[in-house]
Amino acid sequence: MSAKDGLNGVFDQGAVFMPSHFKLPDGVWRLHWVALLIVAGLAGCRGGGACQPCQTYQAPPAYQPAPAYQPAGWAAPPPYTVPTGQVRYQSQDGAEERGRLFDPVNQQFYVDASLDGELSKPQVIKEVVIEGNRRVPTAEFLRQLKSRPGRYFDPDLLQQDVQSIWRMSTVRRVQGPFINRAEDGITITFQVQEHPFISELKFVGNRVLSDSYLKKETGLEEGKPLNDFEVRMAREKIEELYRTRGHTYTSVELHKTEDPTQVVFVVYEDQRRRIRSVSFEGNTIVTAARLRVIVKSKAQTLGLFGGLLDREQVDRDVDLLNAYYMSLGYFSAKIGREVVADADRATVDIKFVINEGPRYRIRNVRFEGVSQYPVTDLMDQLKLKPSEQEQPFFNGDAMNEDVMTLRDAYGSVGHIFADVQAQPHFLAEPGLIDIVYKIDEGKPYRVGRVNIHIDGDGITRRSVVLNRVTQKPGDLIDIRKIRQSERLLRASELFDDPQNPGNLPRIVIRPPDEASGGVR
């Protein structure tokens, strides 16, 4: 035995407490083998295991990996299965069953009868099949799905897959899903019906608006999916385009052709009509000049500019006048309109006929839900209220101002989210109403964190903003001081943006954090 082999035997016996697989490289033997032999000799070891270290040494036990940690009572979740109530079974050759639509309300699947009771066990998806698609590639459908080959069947994901296919603009109808047996798993099949594509798009009878403009505004193009709803919306859009240009009685029809993929709009253009005059009849409380400011239908200027007739805008003007008269206390006012065309039907005269009716007065003011303030203190802050001398006429603007006053009163003592609603109550006695203020006071809040967000290059320091905010963390929030801080920030002119003059500094109060009790 060579010195090298003998010393390796020493190491193999563990005399120097080295692992049994440890071997010194050849280069080391050339320099240190003599010293190592001396150490082995002093220990009295000859490589046979008779020395004391060899007899007392015990090799460490083999490595055992620690078991995976599992909390007490933990168990792996069972795989997804389909509840019995969600399954509708069919026979393999039941073609009539496959014609029924998937019902997203009842969440039913169509399952082959051979799988009766098998879906209560984990099932691997072997294949997902798309049937009925002609223009859209199958890969485009499969990209929308979460149920894929190799994954376990999950009924919740399958429901989402059906909805994903329904949301595709090219899909008109979805049938299924159908679940059939496959080798070592199941096959899921979707039957789809695609929207036909527009083969030709034509506009007939349009002289004022060009074909290219109508295509751009309607969003329809040749080669896009033919959606019946979008076509109907396009027809209404064309009529609206003509009305806004004064062709108020223009009508559009869809022409049916032998080819269902052709879309033909037939436009019956009306001549452009302008408003010659706007008048009012029956108004006594306000002047005609004031009412002309309220309505949006305006007479043409100098007989040449503006004044385009829009019949839908005339109807909206009737609603505007009704709202205005109600704000003045005329709750039973009746308003109609007359549109009279001249001989050549190029200009029209619009007359609004008004029956004002009685004007209502305020008999009493009541409060509900009040606990923070005495009712007398709230009553003193109102402008619209009866007195011993008179019962004032109802005025919607004054009532809204009182609502803001009440909100400020609560906001000044921390009730920043107090809700105040004013409701007129009609009485049996004609011409009289009561105003009831329903108040949800909420809780008082203090200022929490003050977050500062500055758009731009970040030159302005945070302290510059904080110096102009009068509310500090911990203060009882006061809405009046918040508005004062906004005015100070705007008056500083530090945040003026010439390119966007309407973008002014503002303070936003976010909902409170219930844990801290403060607002941000």
Q: What is the pLDDT of residues 388-429, one digit of tens each?
A: 888 999 999 999 999 999 999 998 888 888 999 999 999 888
Residue 487 has pLDDT above 50, yes or no: yes
Same domain membership, residue 350 and residue 375: no
Compute φ and ψ for 347, nearest 5 degrees: -130, 155
Residue 184 has pLDDT above 50, yes or no: yes
Same domain membership, residue 236 and residue 189: no
Q: What is the dihedral of CA 380, 385, 389, 395, to 10 degrees?
A: 140
Nearest to 131 by CA among 195, 175, 192, 194: 192
Same domain membership, residue 283 and residue 331: yes
Asked whether residue 237 is domain-assigned, the answer is: yes
The one-letter code for the residue type at 336 is G
Nearest to 243 by CA among 208, 203, 276, 211: 208
Residue 42, domain extent: 3-56
Measured between its terminal Cα atoms, the distance across the chain in Å is: 85
Same domain membership, residue 206 and residue 185: no
Same domain membership, residue 461 and residue 518: yes
The mean per-residue pLDDT over the stretch 305-317 comes to 85
Query: Looking at 39-43, 300-304, 507-511, which range is the least confident one?
Result: 39-43
| Residue 225 DSSP label | B
pLDDT of residue 388: 82
Asked whether residue 148 is domain-assigned, the answer is: yes
Q: 355 pLDDT band (50/70/90 cuts)?
A: very high
Asked whether residue 80 is domain-assigned, the answer is: no
Of 81-85, 155-159, 247-251, 317-321, the range with the highest mean pLDDT is 317-321
Of 35-39, 87-91, 99-103, 286-290, the range with the highest mean pLDDT is 286-290
Q: 5-12: long-range contacts (C-beta < 8 A, 24 or more apart)?
A: 6/37, 6/47, 7/33, 7/36, 7/37, 7/40, 9/47, 10/40, 10/45, 10/47
- Spatial neighbors of 263 by CB under 8 A, at least 6 apart, are 198, 200, 201, 202, 220, 226, 231, 254
pLDDT of residue 484: 85
The one-letter code for the residue type at 248 is T
The one-letter code for the residue type at 116 is D
Same domain membership, residue 181 and residue 111: yes
DSSP, residue by residue, 415-440: -TT-EEEEEEEE-SSTTEEEEEEEEE
Q: Which helix (H) or strand (E) holds 290?
A: helix 288-294
Q: Using CB atoms within 10 Å of the CB of residue 374, give its burial: 0 to 12 exposed, 13 to 18 middle, 19+ buried.
A: exposed
Residue 435 has pLDDT above 50, yes or no: yes
| E strands in 142-250 | 171-182, 185-194, 200-204
Residue 517 has pLDDT above 70, yes or no: no
Compute φ and ψ for 268, nearest 5 degrees: -105, 95
Same domain membership, residue 213 and residue 261: yes
Rounded to the nearest angstrom, the gap between the alpha carbon of residue 165 and the centroid of all alpha carbons in its chain is 20
Same domain membership, residue 152 and residue 129: yes
Asked whether residue 88 is domain-assigned, the answer is: no
Asked whether residue 86 is domain-assigned, the answer is: no
Asked whether residue 514 is domain-assigned, the answer is: yes
Same domain membership, residue 373 and residue 350: no
Q: Is the pTM of this model over 0.75?
A: no
- From 355, 389, 415, the end of a domain falls on 355
DSSP, residue by residue, 45-67: --SSS-SHHHHH--PPPPP-PPP
Number of domains in the chain: 6
- From 220, 250, 268, the end of a domain falls on 268
Using DSSP's 3-state secondary structure scheme, residue 9 falls into helix
Asked whether residue 121 is domain-assigned, the answer is: yes
pLDDT of residue 356: 92
Q: 160 pLDDT band (50/70/90 cuts)?
A: confident
Using DSSP's 3-state secondary structure scheme, residue 113 falls into helix
pLDDT of residue 49: 53
| pLDDT tens-digit map of 238-275 | 998 888 888 878 889 998 888 888 899 999 988 888 88
CATH number at residue 338: 3.10.20.310
- From 409, 440, 471, the end of a domain falls on 440
Same domain membership, residue 365 and residue 344: no
Same domain membership, residue 339 and residue 418: no
Asked whether residue 62 is domain-assigned, the answer is: no
Between 153 and 56, the higher pLDDT residue: 153
Sign of the dihedral through C-alpha 75, 80, 84, 86: positive
Same domain membership, residue 454 and residue 482: yes
Question: Alpha-carbon distance 418 to 407, whole Å?
Answer: 7
Question: Alpha-carbon distance 165 to 171, whole Å?
Answer: 7
Question: Alpha-carbon distance 465 to 474, whole Å?
Answer: 18
Strand order in the sheet with 432-440: 361-368, 432-440, 419-426
